[in-house]
Amino acid sequence: MTTHRAPASNSVTLEISGMNCAGCASKVERALNQAGIVQQATVNLALETAEIHTQEQTPVQALIAIVEKAGFGAKQREEDIRKARLERERAEAEDQRVERRTLYLLIVSAVLSLPLVAPMIGMIAGRDWHLPGLVQLLLATPVQVFVGARFYKGAFNALRHGSANMDVLVALGTSSAFGYSLYKVLQPGVLSGSHLYFEASAVILTLILFGKYLEHRAKRSTTAAVRALAAMRPDMAHRVDGDTVVDVDISELRLGDTILVKPGERIATDGVVTAGDSAVDESMLTGESFPVSKHEGETVTGGTINGSGALYIKTTALGEETRLAQIIRLVEGAQASKAPVQKLVDKVASIFVPTIVLIAASTFAAWIYLNGDINAAVGAAVAVLVIACPCALGLATPTALVAGTGAAARAGILIRDIEALERAYKVDTVVLDKTGTLTIGRPTLANIQAFDRNNERLLFIAATLQQQSEHPLAGALLRAAEEQNIRLGKAQAVKAVPGQGLTAELAGQQIAIGNKALMDQLGLSSLMAEGLIKTYESAGQTAVSVAVGGKIVGVLGFADAPRDTAAEALAELKQRGIKTVMLTGDAELAAQAVASQIGVDDVRARVQPEGKNAVVDQLKAQGHTVAMVGDGINDAPALAAADLGIAMGSGTDVAMEAAGITLMRSDPTMIADALDVSKATLRKIRQNLFWAFIYNVIGIPLAALGMLSPIIAGAAMAMSSVSVVTNAALLRGWKPTRK
C-alpha cells in the first residue's frame, strides 16, 4: 500500500535549529525560496523543519549553506530507518537534557528575582520600602547575563543577517530596563532603589524563560504521535534459515525472507503469513481496538503486535517501502505542510518586529515630549517591546496541525492534504461510491438461471471469460466455479467494454457477458432475460446477461451486502446536516434497493467510471462543497475533482494518492470522524490565532499608554505562547465519537 509519495530525488527535509518565532521561520523560508536552486520551501516552526523541493538535483550542502547564511543551523533529516530512529532517540535525549538545564536555570532565576519583586508585594500590603540599588544590581546581574545570554545571542545572529526576531525585542526591552537602572545606580547620591527597573528586566527574563520551558514541553507532547509510530519499528527479526532460526538486524532482511514472529512480539516488517494462526493488534495503524485474526495467506504490517500464536511470515516490503514507514512520511508531511490561513500569519510576522520597534521608539519619544518623565517613558517603551514578542503568532497554526494530525493518525485517519482541513469545515455533501465503500466490495453469485436449465454450463462460459478480469464480479464467478469444481476453458479475443462487460470467442462461438447496455449495443434482447433482470434488481442484485452465438442464454444475479456500519455512517452524516449521494454503475432498481436499506438521500445509478467526476463537478456547480469517498482506480478522478477526497484504506494506491484523507479501516462511520477531526483542528487554529493576536491587540496600546508595567507585559507575553501551545495540545485528547 502506498499512502504517500516517496521522497523524490529533488525533495529534501532539513532540520533547522535556532528558530524562536514566526519571524525566524519566515526568514528561513524566504531565504530558501529566493535562492535560484529552490522550487518551493516550507518551514515549520513547531517541528523545526524545512521541506524543500528543488528544480533539479541539488547538493544538500548548498541548501544548508543558504540556511546558515540566514543565521540558522541546518542538517539533513536521516532517511535510513534505523539511523533515523537512532537520530530521533538522540534528539529526544538532547531535548530532555536542554529541558532539564532550562528548568535549573529557571529555578535559579526565580530565586534571584523573587527579592526584587518583594517590595512590590509589600506595596500591595501597604508597606513602602525598597531594596538598596546595589543589592538590586547584584541580584539582577546574574539573571541578565546567564538567562539573557540566549536572547542576546539570538538577537545578534538575527541582526548580523539583516533581520529582527523575538530575541531582538526581548534583548532591547530588558537591556533598556537594566541599562537605565545601572546608569541610575552609578549616579552619585542614588542610595535607594526607587525608580529602578532591575526587577522588570529580571522578572521579564524569568517569565519568558518560564514560558519557553512550558512551550517546549507542550511542543514535545504535540509531536508524540510521530515519535510513537517511529518507536514501533523493531530493530531485530528472527529469520528462518532452513531448519534454524537466526536473530538478525532488521537491515539485513531481504525480500522473500521468512521470519518467525513469536507471541507478544512486534512484527518486524510487512509480509504474508505462510504458516501459523494468531490475532494481531493493529490499533496503532487502524485505531481499531479489537485484534484481527491472521491465517495463512493473509497480509500483516510491520510494527503491529502479534497475539498468542506464532506466525511465519514471508517479507514483501522493507525499509522505506513498508506501510508504517509510508504512514510516518504521510503524517510528517502533513504536519510539516502549511495551511492556507498561515499565509496571512507569515505576512504579518515578516513586518511585525520592525513595526514593534518603531512603536516602542515612538512611545518613548511621546512620553518624553508630553511630560518629560524618563522613568515613565522607559517603562512604557519596555512594556511595548516585551508584550509584542511574536512567539504565539508563529506557533498558532503549526502546533494545532501537529496535534490534530497526530490525534487523527492514532484513530486510523491519515490527513495528507492540509488544505483539506479548511475545505472539510464547509462540506455539505458527501458523494459515496457504492462498491467497496458502502458495500463489502466482495460480491457473491446469488442467482444463476440458464434458459436451457444447464446452469453449470452457463457458469463455465461466464467464468472462463472472466479469468483475466480484475472486476469484483469476475472474482465472484471464479469463486463459484471453484466451489463447484468446474474446470475452465480458454477464451480467445477477449475484449473489455468499459462499464458494460466483455466479449470473446469460445469454442468457435461469439460470447458476450454484460449489462443491458452491452446487450442493446449488440442488438440482443429477450423477454425472459428482462423479467429475470427486473426481479434480481428489485432485490438489490446486479444482473448480468450471457449471450452465446448472438442469443441471450441466461442471466446471473450478484449480491454485494452493505457494510454493517453503512446505515449508521449515513445517519451520522445526516445528523451533521450533510447530504449523501450514492454513485453506482448498477441499474436504477438495484441501486434504489440498496439505498433503501442504508438510507442514502440521493442515488445516481448507471454512472460510468468516467462519469463520477462529472457528478462531482455538477454538485460543485450547484454551490455545494463536496467530499468524495471511494476506493478504486475509477474513483481517482472524482476524488481529485472533489473539494475533499476521502479514500478507504482497503482501496487502491491510486485512490489514496488522489485523496486528501485516507481511512485506514474500511468503516464508513470514519467518514464523519474524519470531518470531525478536520473541523476540530481548524477550530484550534482559529482559536490559537485569536489568542496570539488578542494579547498584542489589547496589550500593545495599554503598554504604550503606560497602563501596563513591564513585568505584567512579560507575564502576558509568556502566557500568550503557553496558552496557544496548551490549547493546541488539547487536541491530543480527540477521539472518534464511535470507537
- Secondary structure (H, E, C), 563-621: CCCHHHHHHHHHHCCCEEEEECCCCHHHHHHHHHHHCCCEEECCCCHHHHHHHHHHHHH
Q: Picking from 115-129, 165-179, 640-654, which range would have the lowest pLDDT averaged per residue? A: 115-129
Mean pLDDT for 36-51 is 80
pLDDT digits (tens, 9 = 90+) for 96-122: 788 888 889 989 998 998 888 776 655
Mean pLDDT for 359-386 is 84
DSSP H or E stretch at residue 554: strand 551-559
Helix, strand counts (H, E) of the chain: 25, 26
Question: How far is residue 523's CA from residue 551's CA, in Å, rounded to a whole number?
Answer: 10
Asked if residues 15 and 95 have their Cβ atoms less than 8 Å apart, the reply is no
Of residues 74 and 585, more confidently modeled: 74
Q: How confident is the model at residue 587 (pLDDT cuts 50, 70, 90)?
A: confident
pLDDT digits (tens, 9 = 90+) for 616-632: 889 999 999 999 988 76
Mean pLDDT for 365-369 is 90
Which pLDDT belongs to residue 380?
A: 85
Q: Which of 495, 537, 540, 500 is nearest to 520 (CA)?
A: 500
Indicate the pTM of the whole model. Answer: 0.63
Grid cell locating 396: 498558532
User: Does residue 81 register a pLDDT over 50?
Assistant: yes
Asked if residues 261 and 306 have their Cβ atoms less than 8 Å apart, the reply is yes
Mean pLDDT for 351-366 is 84
Question: How far is residue 725's CA from residue 634's CA, in Å, rounded to a whole number?
Answer: 42
Which pLDDT belongs to residue 277?
A: 86
Let me know the angle formed at the C-alpha of 99 by 94 and 103, rounded to the nearest 5 degrees: 150
Mean pLDDT for 653-666 is 71
Label the pairing between strands 626-630 and 644-648: parallel
Which pLDDT belongs to residue 272?
A: 92
> Is the four-CA dihedral 78, 81, 82, 88 of positive or negative sign?
positive
Most confident of 329-338, 409-418, 610-619: 610-619
Asked if residues 529 and 639 have their Cβ atoms less than 8 Å apart, the reply is no
| Side-chain-side CA neighbours of residue 430 (13 Å) | 29
CA distances from 726 to 473, 606, 721 (A): 52, 51, 8
Question: How far is residue 287's CA from residue 272's CA, in Å, rounded to a whole number?
Answer: 21
Which pLDDT belongs to residue 708?
A: 77
DSSP H or E stretch at residue 235: none
Question: Residue 401: how many CB atoms within 10 A of its CB?
Answer: 30
Question: How far is residue 545's CA from residue 124's CA, in Å, rounded to a whole number?
Answer: 92
Mean pLDDT (the chain) is 80
Which pLDDT belongs to residue 5?
A: 38
Grid cell locating 315: 517479507
Q: How confident is the model at residue 2 (pLDDT cuts 50, 70, 90)?
A: very low
Mean pLDDT for 243-263 is 88
Which pLDDT belongs to residue 528?
A: 92
Catalytic option among 433, 643, 673, 676: 433
Asked if residues 465 and 556 have their Cβ atoms less than 8 Å apart, the reply is no
Mean pLDDT for 209-224 is 66
Which pLDDT belongs to residue 738?
A: 62
Question: How far is residue 535's CA from residue 313's CA, in Å, rounded to a whole number?
Answer: 46
Which pLDDT belongs to residue 561?
A: 85
Exposure b/e, 429-450, CB count within 10 A at least 16 = b: bbbbbbbbbbbbbebbbbbbbb
DSSP characters for 133-179? HHHHHHHHHHIIIIITHHHHHHHHHHHHTT---HHHHHHHHHHHHHH
pLDDT digits (tens, 9 = 90+) for 723-734: 787 888 888 888
Q: Which of 471, 463, 414, 413 is nearest to 441 (CA)?
A: 471
User: Does residue 290 register a pLDDT over 70?
Assistant: no
Which pLDDT belongs to residue 512?
A: 93
Mean pLDDT for 477-500 is 88
Question: How far is residue 345's CA from residue 23's CA, in Å, rounded to a whole number?
Answer: 10
Grid cell locating 263: 507471541
Q: How confident is the model at residue 75 (pLDDT cuts 50, 70, 90)?
A: confident
Strand ranges across the sheet with 73-76: 38-44, 49-54, 11-17, 73-76
Q: How confident is the model at residue 335 (pLDDT cuts 50, 70, 90)?
A: low
Question: How far is residue 167's CA from residue 172's CA, in Å, rounded to a whole number?
Answer: 8
Kindly give, in sequence order, each residue whose CB lies less than 8 Å from that of residue 489, ignoring residues fewer than 6 positions away. 460, 464, 506, 507
| Side-chain-side CA neighbours of residue 206 (13 Å) | 26
Asked if residues 676 and 737 have their Cβ atoms less than 8 Å apart, the reply is yes
Cα dihedral: 13, 15, 19, 25 (round 10): 0
User: Does residue 4 register a pLDDT over 50?
Assistant: no
Asked if residues 539 and 593 have their Cβ atoms less than 8 Å apart, the reply is yes
Q: How confident is the model at residue 353 (pLDDT cuts 50, 70, 90)?
A: confident
Which pLDDT belongs to residue 718?
A: 67
DSSP H or E stretch at residue 559: strand 551-559
Which pLDDT belongs to residue 537?
A: 87
User: Does residue 581 register a pLDDT over 90?
Assistant: yes
Q: How confident is the model at residue 511 (pLDDT cuts 50, 70, 90)?
A: very high
Mean pLDDT for 682-703 is 84
Asked if residues 97 and 211 have their Cβ atoms less than 8 Å apart, the reply is no
User: Does residue 237 register a pLDDT over 60?
Assistant: yes
pLDDT digits (tens, 9 = 90+) for 389-436: 656 666 677 778 778 888 888 888 888 766 777 788 889 999 998 887
Question: Residue 127: how many CB atoms within 10 A of its CB?
Answer: 9
User: Does residue 666 register a pLDDT over 70?
Assistant: yes
Which pLDDT belongs to residue 202?
A: 83
Most confident of 5-14, 522-531, 610-619, 695-704: 522-531
Q: How confident is the model at residue 193 (pLDDT cuts 50, 70, 90)?
A: very low
Mean pLDDT for 288-305 is 79
Of residues 634 and 361, more confidently modeled: 361
Instruction: Say whether 433 is catalytic.
Output: yes
User: Does residue 572 register a pLDDT over 70?
Assistant: yes
Label the pairing between strands 551-559 and 579-583: unpaired
Most confident of 286-290, 567-571, 732-736: 567-571
Distance from chain centroid for Cα 449: 50
Q: Which of 587, 637, 598, 629 is nearest to 437 (CA)?
A: 629
